Structure 1
Amino acid sequence: MLSSVSNLPHFFLFYTSCLLVLSSLSNHLCHGFRPRHFNLSTAATHWSNAGATWYGAPDGFGSDGGSCGYGESVSQAPFSSMVTGIGPSLYNSGKECGACYQVKCTKHPSCSGKPARVVITDFCPGGVCASDRAHFDLSGTAFGAMAVPGQEKLLRDAGNLEIRFARVACDYAGKTLAFHVDQGSNSNYIAFVIEFEEGDGDLAGVGLMETGSLKTTSNNEQVITAEWRKMQQSWGAVWKLDAGGELQPPLSIRLTSQYSEQTLVAKNVIPVGWKPGATYRSLVNFL
């Protein structure tokens, strides 16, 4: 009995700590917290197995742009040809375009065992890409980056490899978001590729706000309103809006990340006098 009484302070400390933890967890859950989102960083923590092949030129960037729509950007900094096509299990109908992974190999004599970071820019729909639980069809440059220095060719000659992969945050060394307007855009319709999303890298949703739209109320009064309009994923990293009337720039873009559901606004990023084919850079990014 004396022993039980002497342990009461410890019990209450433990009990109080548990309540604090439960309260904190409850608050996180109420705000949409999901544990799998908490640890995403630029350093890999959770590794899994996958198959890996490569395509395109041995020191190249796979295909010109790929199915995500990044075009010539894949060969230029900050992508710098460190890109990959991905099998259906990870591509997620293009919603994972822009996501970053670290890949490494250890089971071939030419494997360095050191991780290399790659970005999803393309889709590999069939063959081993579809039959493997996860598969990376890397650019020749990215495949060679897993090799011991000087043995890149020997590793590429191995063909299909078993590798390890891990999801990581994208980090483009302070580069801001870019919006490349599609050539088919006009005053009533706009579509653009979104590039260089730091952090999660992929997007769950995109919204557009005009500076002001002239609308007629039920009393036949004309008022200027500004509201967020939901854009649709056209394909890959391309998002579109059929405005149904003339757009009123400058246009602000709101992005919601796929992985952590973080939201960011690029205010007035599409200016007055915007042109199809032009690229407009924001002042912000997720990191």
Structure 2
Amino acid sequence: MVLTIYCMCRVPCNYGRTNIAFKIDAGTNPNWFATRIEFAEGDGGLRSVEIAPAGTQEFVPMNNIWGAVWVANIDSSFRGPYSFRLTSPINAVALAINAVPMDYVPGQTYFSNVNF
């Protein structure tokens, strides 16, 4: 008999000079925005992610649907470039301003200029 034990803990991450990246999900459309958040330093997790459309600091909460994938229901008036407010489990905040351009391409990855 083989006994397998899995650890459900997070591993601290250090990506050097790599900033937080947003890989846009292939299913993203004018009513649903989904992104996989990559290279977030720190303890390996995010407590919350919020998205804001161009020209505003009015952030809308996103939902974590699986692993590093965060989604938001939006409407056609919600236009880029998009900014993100990311909060770590220890309440550190990273503000990625205009991280995803208005003419984003689903499947592409866009790097911010910040990290924790």
TM-score, normalised relative to structure 2 = 0.87
Q: Report the counterpart of residue 115 of structure 2 in structure 1.
A: 285
Residue 38 of structure 2 corresponds to residue 195 of structure 1: yes
* Separation of aligned partners in 2, 1:261 and 1:278: 28
1:242 counterpart residue number = 73
Q: What amino acid is the match of 1:185?
A: T
CA RMSD of aligned residues (A): 1.9
Which residue of the partner structure matches residue 59 of structure 2? 228
Q: CA deviation at 1:188?
A: 2.2
Distance in 2, matches of 1:272 and 1:210, equals 9
Aligned to 1:272: 102
SS in 1 for 2:113: coil
The equivalent residue for 1:175 is 18
Q: How does 1:22-171 map to 2 (within 5 A)?
A: 86-87=6-7, 90=8, 99-100=10-11, 169-171=12-14
Task: Determine the structure 2 residue equivalent to 1:184.
Answer: 27
Larger radius of gyration: 1
Structure 2 unaligned regions, length at least 5: none
The answer for unaligned runs of 5 or more in structure 1 is 1-50, 54-85, 92-98, 101-168, 213-224
More strand, by proportion? 2
1:89-148 deviation per Cα after TM superposition (whole angstroms, max 9, x unaligned): x26xxxxxxx31xxxxxxxxxxxxxxxxxxxxxxxxxxxxxxxxxxxxxxxxxxxxxxxx
Query: 1:52 deviation in Å?
Result: 6.6
What amino acid does structure 2 have at the position aligned with 1:268?
N
How many angstroms apart in 2 are the aligned matches of 1:255 and 1:196? 12
Tell me the equivalent position of 2:93.
Answer: 263
Among 30, 50, 53, the alignment partner of 1:207 is 50
Q: Number of paired residues?
A: 114
Task: Please state how far the C-alpha of 1:174 moved relative to its aligned partner.
Answer: 1.4
CA distance in 1, matches of 2:28, 2:13: 29
Question: In the alignment, is the contact (CA less than 8 A) between 1:188 and 1:246 conserved in 2?
Answer: no
- Aligned mates of 1:283, 1:226 — CA distance in 2: 17
The code of the aligned residue for 1:264 comes to A
Distance 1:264 1:178 in 2: 12
CA–CA distance in 2 between the matches of 1:235 and 1:205?
A: 13
Relative contact order, CA 8 A, sep 6+: which one is greater? 2
